[in-house]
Amino acid sequence: MAFVTPEEIRHYIEDRNPEDNEMDEDLSFSNEEIQVAMRRCARAYNSTPPLRVSTVTPDCMPDETEMFFDGTIWKLYAARLARLSRNDFDFDAGDVNVSPEQKRIAHMGRMAAKAEEAFYIQAHDYKGTKNISAGYGSLG
């Protein structure tokens, strides 16, 4: 069985090299940020009912579905969104009110919400199936 890796996360979100991010001209996420997001994803999965049915660690999140990819990018985007929102401010440039991060915050918020929803749908289904299989054996 193969497991999710930070390199696969980078490929999943097209954050492989600076050329992928024309605006920033650098990687969007550091390796440390990806590893923290993977830990948070594993914790979110382990906290999803039914509890103790199927647990994972950041080192052993199976890559057989996109569930842990979605969960990790949700956590990456949520953390970035918190930082962007915390540092967002409006200022006047002549007669124009400008919020330089506003579009990024809106986009990141949509992406985080979409990834969170996908993660939880998959996690509930996956853990529910594991729970039924543990009680009744393989179905179908």
Q: Report if residue 23 sits inside a domain.
A: no
Q: Report if residue 21 sits inside a domain.
A: no
Question: 4-59: per-residue pLDDT in tens?
Answer: 999 999 888 887 666 655 555 555 788 899 999 999 999 999 999 988 888 999 99
The set of residues, in sequence order, having a beta carbon less than 8 Å from that of 71 and lying 6+ positions away, is 41, 44, 45, 115, 119, 123
Q: Report if residue 37 sits inside a domain.
A: yes
pTM of the model as a whole: 0.81
Domain residues for 43? 6-16+28-134
Task: Render the burial of 20-32: b for 16+ CB within 10 Å, e for the rest.
Answer: eeeeeeebbbeee
Q: How many domains does the chain have?
A: 1
Q: Report if residue 10 sits inside a domain.
A: yes
Q: Report if residue 1 sits inside a domain.
A: no
Give CA separation, 106 vs 70, 115, 139, in Å.
18, 14, 43
